[in-house]
Amino acid sequence: MNITVLGAGAFGKALGKVLVDNKHAVVYYDPFLYPDFTLDAALYNAEAVIVAVPSNALPELTENYPQQAKELPTIIATKGLTSLRIFNGFSKLSVISGPAFANEIMENKGATLTASDPFVLDIFQNGQIFIELCDDIKGILLCGTLKNIYAIGAGYHSESENEVAAFITRAHNESIRFLNDHDANGDTANYVCGLGDLILTCTSETSRNFTCGKRLRKGEQLRTILDDLKTVEGVSAIKDITNIKKYPVLAEIAEIVKPEV
């Protein structure tokens, strides 16, 4: 199958590597890395599309998206979304998410991911990658957003492993309630896209969000951290949370990252 991966960053390339391992033909679109390769050209022979661009790049991408390509099976791998509004008009959407660092996938280490459609399982699953199915698209998206926010708080508390364990427990319980409050299924937080990704992101020095929280605890200014790390998805995501006072852990993190939020 001819598959176009939108976004040739670390995770996009990692997903593409799995697809190539599964004998699919992969084309990458990334205007920063390949400025002379247009979106129309990248989608010309596509039979399916993987969206792996950063969430802040999606508005420009979808604004210029060819109408005919919206009919293709489109798998969202971008984390940081709270709804599918930006994909209005796409007819065959699905999601893939879960605890998987790109470098480990590139090193052929195993990973389990959650997907919302059997089609995703068909093209991705192999001896390295296991796919569990969950039909709660919105819940999967929300889990991918919440874990980045919570990782900031975990990093902030990371001087004590005891505190981190308690923090992750509170964050997971709050995730279940958050999903139920936002037209999703709270049980989705128990899949690897929820609890699994939460644990990974909240305990790893590789996570930019975790690192951000750790540096905030040491007294560094958030602007300095953002200039250094470039992308801290949780800082952007928390701005989209409404009624945040209903959720004590999220509210705590909002206070930590002030005045940026």
In 3D, which of 230, 152, 140 has the Cα closest to residue 192?
140
- From 79, 138, 147, 214, active-site residue: 147
Residue with tokens 């305990």: 203
Active site includes 138?
A: no
Q: Say how far apart CA 74 and CA 94 lie, in whole Å.
A: 6
Residue 213 CA to residue 35 CA, distance in Å, equals 34
The catalytic residues are 147
